Amino acid sequence: MRPVDLPHTGTTSPAVVLFDLDDTLFAHSHAVEAGLAAHYSHDPRLADADQPHELALWRALEEVQYHRYLSGEIGFLAQRRERARGLATPHGIDLSDDAAADNWFGSYLVEYERAWETFPDAHPCLDALEKLIPGVRFGIVTNAVMSFQKQKMDALGLTPRIEHTIASGDVGFAKPDRRIFDTAIDVFGVIASDAVYIGDRLETDAIGAMDAGVRGIWLSRAEPTEAEIALANSRGVRVIRSLDEVPALLT
C-alpha cells in the first residue's frame, strides 16, 4: 500500500511550521547508538557484551521508562536511573544506590552528547522554507525537559532559528495530548489551521497534531508498514521519508 497523495487543505502556505526535535531534526537514535558503544568500550565489565542486544534493550528501556516519566508516574532523574539499572543489572553491576545510577548514566551521557548532530536534511529544510515562505516562523513541540532540549538546540545551531519551544516538562502535558499543541498555537498567536506539525511518530506527533486542528505530517525515515500507511491515510496524514520533501509540500 502506498501513502495517499493528499492535497494541501489550506489556500496559503502555513505561517508557522512546528517540528518535533528528537529523531526529526536531531539524530537522537544515532547518538544513542554511538554513545552506548563508546560508553561500553570504557568499561571492562561490558567489553564482551553483545552490542546489538544491548542497544535493543537500551531502546526498549528508554521507551518504557521515558513514557513512565511523561505520564507523571516517575521523575526525570528516576527514569534515567531505572534505564541504567535495567541495562547494568544483567551484567552484575549494582546500581541500587541512586548516586551510582546517576554516575553510570552520566558516563553514558557524556558519550551520547559527543555524538549529537542534526540530520543532513534539517537545516536545508529550514533554509528552503525561509526562502519560499516569507516571514515563516519555526517552533518545536517536544516531549522532554526544556533545559535538556535547549542544550541540544544550542549545540546544533537550532536555537537562533526557533522562535518558540514548547516542552512537556514545562507545560505539564505531553503529546499526543492536544493541549500541548493548543499551547503552541497560543504562544505563536495564530489559529490552528495556520500551522503545520512535522514529527517522526505517527500517532504521538502527526495524529496528535491533527486532533488539535493542526495539519500533521509524519516523517517516517524507516520504511512504514502497510498498517501505518493505512492509519495515516485514514486520518489524512501525509507521509514523507525526508525533510527534503517539506518545502514543495508546503508551498
Q: Are residues 22 and 109 in the same domain?
A: no
- Give 109's contacts (C-beta < 8 A, 6+ positions apart): 35
Question: End of a domain among 89, 114, 139?
Answer: 114
Separation between Cα atoms, residue 10 and residue 14, nearest integer Å? 8
Q: What is the CATH number of the domain that holds 215?
A: 3.40.50.1000
Helix (H) or strand (E) holding 3: none
Per-residue pLDDT of the chain (251 residues; tens, 9 = 90+): 444 444 334 447 999 999 999 999 999 999 999 999 999 998 888 888 999 999 999 999 999 999 999 889 999 999 999 999 999 999 999 999 999 999 999 999 999 999 999 999 999 999 999 999 999 999 999 999 999 999 999 999 999 999 999 999 999 999 999 999 999 999 999 999 999 999 999 999 999 999 999 999 999 999 999 999 999 999 999 999 999 999 999 99
Number of domain units in the chain: 2
pLDDT at position 8: 39
Q: Are residues 98 and 152 in the same domain?
A: no
Q: Are residues 99 and 122 in the same domain?
A: no
3-state secondary structure of 82: helix
